[in-house]
Chain A
Amino acid sequence: MRGFVTLLARNRLALVGLIVIGCVALLALITPLLPLANPNVIDTPNRFQPPFSAGAVLGTDHLGRDLLSRLLWGTRLSLAMGLAAAMIAATIGSAIGIIAGYYGGRTDNVIMRGVDMLMGFPYILLALAIVAALGPGLMNALIAVAAVNVPFFARNIRGITVGIAHKEFVDAARLSGMRNREIILSEVLPNVLPVIVIAMSTTVGWMILETAGLSFLGLGSQPPQADLGSMLGEARSALITHPHTSIVPGAMILVIVMGINLLGDGVRDALDPRLKSGALSRPMPATTVDRHGPVPVAQTDSLLDIAGLRTEFRVRDRVYKAVGGVDLHVERGECLGIIGESGSGKSVTALSVMGLVASPPGVITGGAVHFDGTDLIGAPYEVLRALRGRRVAYIFQDPLATLHPLYRVGDQLIEAIQTHDPLSKEAARTRAIDLLKSVRIPNAESRIDSYPYEMSGGMRQRVGIAMALANDPDVIIADEPTTALDVTVQAQILSVLSDLRRARGLAIIFITHDFGVVGQLCDRVAVMYAGQIVEEGPTEAVLRNPHHPYTSRLIDCVPTLGGGQRKLAAIPGLPPVVDRLPVGCAFAERCDKAEPACRADAIALMPTGAGRKTRCLFPETKQERIV
């Protein structure tokens, strides 16, 4: 609750709304005490006095009545009407909602049918019908506005009540022999009350507007009594000759409703937990780069050279260092595996290459990614875009989420082709079919017109691969492409990838948490832990003789055939949270061999044999393994 208040107070607009509403409400309250002219005294000789004339600050209306006085009395009436309508609607609506939600079953069904029916009715029309039946008048307008808002409350409160009706304390009350009515009053009502109040605060603006609207039409308050709506309605005939008589009440309605809306928005934002964490922001076209210090030069003349890459996530006042200085390189036609648990930074490393890390909250804070000699970090968007999919393509994990659900796969393929190649639609389609064939999709000619949801997981991932191949890229970055698939399909996908690589001379960066997969496909492997590479070397050598204790644990996790999938959970403990990394070895907490020296200082990635590097003070040496 305190958090809610601070959030509300932090929202400056909501505060403005609160102040505006407070002032108007105060004015309305003290109106009877103010030295105002009688709002209903007719003084025809002095009609249509302009504002600021003697004796009438806001002028007079068509009957010579003092506008200021009428405005304040009208505001008072309008506010009272809106509030009263909101109270009535909230009381009746909530009662209905609680009954429907609490009793459930048939009662719920019947009530909600009716509520849905009413909500499907354009509701100004409903209010008009009610006024038509009861006859024009202040009270009847009030009843009409309250009535048409009842379904809104009924529906919202029912939803909340359904959630509460099955909580333990309600069950406990029922078991203790309390009667339903007592339970509703003592257990349910206190819990839904805040929701009712909030729903009221967000609808009272509408109700003021609606009652004013009915009065404007002449169906609400009747002369001489006037609310803001009927003031406006009466002034309409003199709109052109004496606009001030219209502007005065109209502007007041605007001020009131705007104040309430500002406040209501503030309340809603303060309550929406997604806004609290700042999660509801959209990722930009390319990851933000905020690079300090010197830009590292390429360490190799490989096709792709990542040097000192640092990527972090800034969420509020916390910084998660997802990638903390990674060096990697891939040669033409080479397959590099990056392996690690989830959260190890392997995907973020891969996404950083083409600026695809969601930003906000992602920021690349250091390092360089040289592709074919040019640094991509901080490169202009247009440069990145021209390379994306053209020379560096991605395959993502879950193709059901990563393919557009509402476009046919063919159209998505054709788009991938046409983005970089101004082919005609027909030519692109022919190529798309060829691509589907190249990833061994049967009946490519008909499959091309399927939607992603119509395909199996394996087929969808083949489409994902075909799409990555669309422009004959130099590098494919595959981010756990087989994780969501079952074992046989996984094997098929791997064999497709491995054939394509041989046939086209593709370089592949293959990200996975499964050493078995790495063993089948990759020439070299890099093991990541807590945002850093802990071991790197030729796949076979690493598999046979892991140097880092973490690597050897990972290899132990490879499922044996028929033994089911053993997950990395087999390693006791959890990886460190990347916003609180330890000073020394990040694996120390889970390592059997940890010594005080391990925790003392940052550990460097040291060469440990032919083409191999390890980040460990006490590398494993003896074990020989057969995989």
Chain B
Amino acid sequence: MTGYILKRLVSAIPVLLGISVIVFLIMAMIPGDPATAILGSYATPENVEKLNRDLGLDQGLVPRYFIWLGHMVQGDFGRSFALNRPVLDEVLDRFGATLILAGTSFVLCSLLGVAAGVVSAARQYGWADKAITFVVLLGISIPSFFLGMMMILIFAVQLRWFPVSGMWPIYGDRTVWVLLNHLFMPALALAVVATGVIARLARSAMLEVLRQDFIRTARAKGVRERRVIWRHALRAAMVSIIPVLGIQAGFVLSGAVYIEMVFQWPGVGRMLVDAILKRDILLVQGGVVFIAACYVMFNIMVDVAQAMLDPRIKT
């Protein structure tokens, strides 16, 4: 297994390079003089000249890319001129909050989605199936930012069950309980769409598996139906569910942007939107590369989980 993990890590290198190329090319589309665009209102002639020298902006695309890549490999993502601090510091400061939000959401959507899909399949065409199918349709149709706003209205303003926004109260202790209280609504709002997608897929994967011969074998052994569904069938269905969990993790991670805006969550997503509006280009670039790289790493974890689940995958 260690060998397999190493192999997957090595195979991530070209993907990471690909991501850096994509981001680099996108940023190269910036109209006008790049140094002026990056510096914004700090674009004094000296600053422009210094930046041109540091980032090789006056050179061709290819040398520019390698200069940029070289800096990044050394942990230098550039400097945010609007915030006047290194990009990486800012991203790392914010990343914890995003990770807590997206991580919780991911756990929520995986558990809820798989459970809903399994129940739906086991009760195919029954009322539970119909109810779940309807809720799932609603879930994948509602924009997460609108859902978040409605949740604030109902559960925070009307019912006062949860705080309106933020990650921590302005005054008071920072306990886990307080965090959970703040986390619940945004994490749920972020999870809803992915839950719907996962539930749909889990349902059809389960229906597919339940028709297979080994399910009949389990039943012929006298195994209780609950065990047939939740052990035999789900275990086999997970093989096709897990890759989708990986894809949905990407949606959750990047969808956090909306939720962080709605709930004033101090994460990378809000930082990105602010940076785009302020035209703080190096911060955007660094943030995007960082999140995308995290996602690649997460997908490796998904692959490893898949390999542990399915002994037929050569490790």
Mark A residues whose CB is within 8 Å of B.
Answer: 114, 117-118, 120-126, 128-136, 205, 209, 212-213, 216-219, 232, 236, 239-240, 243, 246-247, 250, 253-254, 257-258, 261-262, 265, 280-283, 285, 354, 356, 358, 381, 385-390, 393-394, 396, 398, 401-407, 415-416, 419-420, 451, 453, 467, 470
Contacts and interface: CB of A to CB of B under 8 A. Distances in A.
Contacts of A135: 31, 279
A285 to B, nearest CB: 4
A167 B252 CA distance: 41
Given A117-B19, A239-B149, A451-B312, A404 B214 contact: yes
B220 A453 contact: no
Contacts of B152: 239-240
Q: 6 tightest CB-CB pairs across the interface, nearest first? A: A250-B146, A124-B254, A122-B250, A282-B210, A122-B254, A389-B222
A282 B149 contact: no
A44 to B, nearest CB: 24
A228 to B, nearest CB: 9
Contacts of A136: 276-277
Contact of A258 (B31, B141, B149, B210): B141
Interface residues of B, number: 82
B140 interface: yes
Contacts of A205: 141
B31 A134 contact: yes
B258 A403 contact: no
B216 interface: yes
Contacts, number: 226
B284 A216 contact: no
Given A257-B141, A280-B204, A398 B250 contact: no
A398 B213 CA distance: 9
Contacts of B29: 130, 133-134
A285 B217 CA distance: 11
Contacts of A415: 221, 223
A282 B123 CA distance: 9
A572 B19 CA distance: 64
7 contacts: A216-B258, A282-B124, A381-B225, A388-B222, A390-B222, A393-B221, A394-B217
Contact of B277 (A209, A218, A405): A218
Contact of B143 (A126, A212, A381, A402): A212
Nearest to B29: A133
Contacts of B221: 388-389, 393, 415-416, 419, 467, 470
A365 B236 CA distance: 33
A463 B292 CA distance: 47
Contacts of A416: 221-222
Interface stretch (B20-28, B44-52, B64-72): B20-28
B262 interface: yes
B225 A285 contact: yes
A120 B298 CA distance: 11
A128 B288 contact: yes
B94 interface: no
Given A258-B137, A403-B214, A406-B236, A213 B258 contact: yes
Contact of B145 (A213, A354, A390, A401): A213
B310 A393 contact: no
Contact of A219 (B31, B262, B276): B276
B222 A261 contact: no
A224 to B, nearest CB: 18
Contacts of A216: 143, 145, 258, 261
B216 A358 contact: yes
Interface string B189-219: 0000000000000001011101111111111
B257 A217 contact: yes
Interface in B135-164: 137-138, 140-143, 145-146, 149-150, 152-153, 157, 164
A411 to B, nearest CB: 10
B190 to A, nearest CB: 12
Contact of B214 (A213, A262, A402): A402
Contact of B216 (A132, A209, A356): A356
Contact of A393 (B18, B122, B210, B220): B220
Contact of A129 (B26, B31, B261, B311): B26
Nearest to A351: B216
Contacts of A213: 143, 145, 258
Given A125-B254, A250-B143, A404-B218, A217 B273 contact: yes
B260 to A, nearest CB: 10
A388 B219 CA distance: 8
Interface string B4-21: 000000000001001100
A122 B276 contact: no
Contacts of B92: none
A403 B296 CA distance: 35
Contacts of B261: 216-217
Contacts of B295: 120-122
A285 B124 CA distance: 12
Contact of A404 (B124, B207, B232, B288): B232
Given A122-B253, A261-B140, A396 B217 contact: yes
A216 B144 CA distance: 11
A419 B225 CA distance: 11
